[in-house]
Amino acid sequence: MSVNSKVVPMIHPGAALRKEIRSGQFVAPFIGIFDAFSATIASKHSTNLFYSGFGFAASHYGLPDLGYIAWSDMVQAAWRIRQILPEHKLLVDIDDGYVDASVACHVSTQLERMGVAMIMLEDQKRPRRCGHFDGKILLPLEEYMEKLEMVLAQRTDLCVLARTDAVGDEIYRRIERISMTDVDVIMVDGVHSIETLREARKITDKPLLFNQIAGGKSPRVTLSELMEAGSKLVLYSTPCLFAAQTAINDSLSAIFSNDGRLPDTTSGRSVSVAECSTLLQENMALHLPGSRAAKLKQA
């Protein structure tokens, strides 16, 4: 960088997302991804991406999300996404902060420094599980609040999403307590009815996020219905993962039911090696001299 060149200060993705949230407008949907390739595809559909523990556990370990993921797993995974999609806003699931409040602070600091826009911190107690499964155990509220407030106290630009897996009246007790903090967004996972959003809206001024997962406990609703119910953010946790499972099964079944013949790429049933390579080359271009991302790194 020359001495006379003007450096344009970078806005942290967390600060940019907070400005979006506070605008009062509906925020672009967060699309759940499970690796760098799915993130690349999803990035064409939204500026906001979500790295879930469910998707990471499935893609990295081939196992269900039962809470054995190490904090270093998610930090490294998020770093790979930030390298190829620096202009997208990334929400990262850090489960319960990996048990200890000090670890939760350490992890959130690392994620903030690499440009992650927001983290999700839940109030489940281990052994934890997917929010749309039965058998969840909650941390005592004050224990969760101590952890949440420690994370909030040490963040600068990073947005924090507080997630509760409570049910019944406990949902509203926890929302009221969480609302007393500087948390940016609140999410109730595994809700059975959109009416829960409407009731939550009555007791908090904090932005609410609704989590959509195919076959989960929550109803299938439109963005218009969510806006009407008072939600400002929506999360699609697993569409990429479930689509990959469906497509891989269908593709391989078609190949072997056709005596091993590959599909005709001109029919639209499959991308070609050239199309896949083109997609990946776009990510490579971010690191080449002259690209916007390269200029930002130089600055």
Assign residue 118 the CATH number of its domain. Answer: 3.20.20.60
Q: Is residue 120 part of a domain?
A: yes
Q: How many domains does the chain have?
A: 1
Cα–Cα–Cα angle for 291, 294, 296, nearest 5°?
110
Q: Is residue 184 part of a domain?
A: yes
Q: Which string of DSSP letters, residue by residue, matches 221-282?
A: --HHHHHHHT--EEEE-SHHHHHHHHHHHHHHHHHHHTTTPPP-GGGTSS--HHHHHHHHHH
Element at 188 (helix H, strand E): strand 185-188
* 98: nearest Cα among 168, 147, 56, 131: 147
291: confidence class by pLDDT, cuts 50, 70, 90: low
* 32: nearest Cα among 24, 19, 41, 23: 41
Q: What is the mean pLDDT of residues 190-219?
A: 89
- The backbone region for 135, taken as left when phi is positive above 0, alpha when psi lies in -120 to 50, beta otherwise, is left
Q: Is residue 290 part of a domain?
A: no
Q: Is residue 256 part of a domain?
A: no
135: confidence class by pLDDT, cuts 50, 70, 90: low
Quote the tokens at residue 269. Answer: 């049933």
Q: Which of 148-152, 227-231, 256-260 has the highest mean pLDDT?
A: 148-152
What does the pLDDT read at residue 1?
44
Q: Is residue 203 part of a domain?
A: yes
Three-state SS for 92? Answer: strand
Q: Is residue 130 part of a domain?
A: yes
Q: Is residue 150 part of a domain?
A: yes
**211: containing domain:** 13-246
From CA 94, how far away is CA 80, in angstroms rounded?
16
Is 50 exceeded by the pLDDT of residue 296? no
Element at 161 (helix H, strand E): strand 159-164
Q: Is residue 285 part of a domain?
A: no
